[in-house]
Structure 1
Amino acid sequence: MGAVSRASLAEVKERLEALVPSADLAVLGGELFGVLNLIDREHGLRRALADPARAGDAKAALIEGLLDGKVSPAAVALVADVVRLRWSRPSELADAVETLAVTAEAARAEADGRIDDLEDELFRFSRVVEGEPELRSALTDPALPADRKQGLLEALLAGKATPSTLRLVTEVVLRPRGRSLESGLAEYGRVVTQRRQRLVALVRSAVDLTEAQRTRLAAVLAAAYGHEVHLNIELDPTVVGGLSIQLGDEVIDGTIAGRLDDVRRRLAS
């Protein structure tokens, strides 16, 4: 993915995170996969949505007109954000929608307390496929109808794996997008792993941070901790100057109020 596309992907992933607390995660991933299928199928639409000469708002209006009433408002808003941004190649716009769909499923599993299961099940299914040539042949056979493949996957996974595992494996099998079954599973697994390994920082500030400030802070924390860091910003009028940042049990207090509290504790000891 080109540099322009990587920057745009990082931006829309943050927008997805803003939607996660209120979105119906049980349907959002499926809706995004549906949009991906539409974009992959309609080459003219994909070119129009990724056309750098076309205004972002015009592209957003186009996709909103196509999706309104067919998917949730959260999915419409997110895809509109995707098409407003610039992408190095039209295919990378579609790749971004796919990444968002997988991330939404990972967020669903995370909300259910099962993201570790999702990561493990994707890995184990890839090993099962690798060790069962007949199963792999059936799942990758272009002559076998999609409903037969889906039925086979449901027999193997329904009730035995997380709903997100079933959805992600089904997408890889039915719509491989030019990849082998193994590479598709590995790619989805990497997206899930990235989410599982990320850190979440609670940032308290008296004033909201600009997008540039958030980006710089996330980059600094990621460099310091060796993992992607997602920022949850909490506006707190009691914070006087600076920021208070909490990652797990660690608190980095750069506020004036925090320093005053520290002085008071020292004087009282």
Structure 2
Amino acid sequence: MNGASREALASARDNLEALLDSASADAARLAEDLASVTALLDREVSLRRVLTDPAQPADAKSELAGRLLRGQVGGDAADLVSGLVRSRWSSSRDLVDALEELAAGAELAAAQGAGRLDDVEDELFRFGRIVESNPGLRAALTDKVADKAAKAGLLRTLLGGRADAVTERLIVRLVTAPRGRSLEAGLTALSKLAADRRGRVVAEVTSAVPLNDRQKQRLGDALGRIYGKRVHLNLDVDPEVIGGIQVRIGDEVINGTIADRLAEAGRRMAG
């Protein structure tokens, strides 16, 4: 997002957090309602254009949103959306992206309130690794012509009883409504949102053998000093790295593997 949309999203995040701080707020219900509004506006292009038209008075757009949603979603969600459409958006699609993020944020807040946010974060990472290692599963979940209900049923069979309910809902929504993103990109975005709720960054760590607790602690502490935040480690094992570790944080890769050093030595010799 750029310009006006970025400012509008920042304001929307603040409004969501204020709402979630209320003792009466039901984070899981709010997430479901926001997800349903996301689906509505993703489908109804003309409606979202009206709700983001800068030429229309903010009060009129807010009133329209409230009238459309009244009785369809809970009051908290209706109020949040009515506030959202008062803001200025650079594009109508940005409004839908913001709603989708807020829905996921409410789900993660529910997990945090239940003391399960770490579990959800780990489960999202592990699910991504399962999909990566199983091309048949990935093909089934990303098939554009496959029935959405069938995909949801497959996921509930895979995850039901094995993952937190929040994890299951997030993944089902991502798979059944990808909105042009790859499955991998969607999972990465969800993991980042989960990390942001704890004010920390996520490091994807690949090592030749599993790290022990002392090694994990030392690595987390070292990365925390570099980035100035707590760092959550998503750990993976790949014997092909031969030794050492590879750390990916966002688009940045810190490569300390023996395989990388050998490849670099070979390039120098060839040069």
TM bracket, shorter-chain basis: 0.7 to 0.9
Corresponding position of 1:3: 3
Q: Tell me, yes or no, if the aligned pair for 1:172 and 1:181 is still in contact at 8 Å.
A: yes
Corresponding position of 1:156: 158
Corresponding position of 1:98: 100
Provide the rounded CA distance (Å) in 2 between the counterparts of 1:3 and 1:164: 32
Alignment of 1:90-169 (within 5 A): 90-169=92-171
How many equivalent residue pairs? 202
Q: Which runs of 5+ in 2 are unaligned?
A: 201-226, 230-271
Alignment of 1:130-209 (within 5 A): 130-197=132-199
CA deviation map 1:147-206 (0-9, x unaligned): 1111110011112111111111011100000011111111121111111226xxxxxxxx
Provide the rounded CA distance (Å) in 2 between the counterparts of 1:133 and 1:173: 15
CA RMSD of aligned residues (A): 1.6
SS at match of 2:71: coil
SS at match of 1:52: coil
Corresponding position of 1:82: 84
Q: CA deviation at 1:7?
A: 1.2
Corresponding position of 2:44: 42
Residue 58 in structure 1 maps to residue 64 in structure 2? no
Q: Partner amino acid for 1:12?
A: A
Q: CA deviation at 1:12?
A: 1.1
Q: Which runs of 5+ in 1 are unaligned?
A: 199-224, 228-269
Q: CA deviation at 1:142?
A: 2.1
SS at match of 2:85: helix
Corresponding position of 2:215: none
Q: Partner amino acid for 1:51?
A: D
Give the TM-score of the pair, scaled to structure 1. 0.72
Q: CA deviation at 1:3?
A: 2.1
Provide runs of 4+ in structure 1 moved above 2 Å.
Answer: none
Give the TM-score of the pair, scaled to structure 2. 0.72
Percent identity of equivalent pairs: 50
SS at match of 1:84: coil
Q: Partner amino acid for 1:88?
A: S
Q: CA deviation at 1:226?
A: 5.3
Q: Partner amino acid for 1:160?
A: R
Q: Tell me, yes or no, if the aligned pair for 1:116 and 1:196 is still in contact at 8 Å.
A: no
Provide the rounded CA distance (Å) in 2 between the counterparts of 1:103 and 1:187: 11
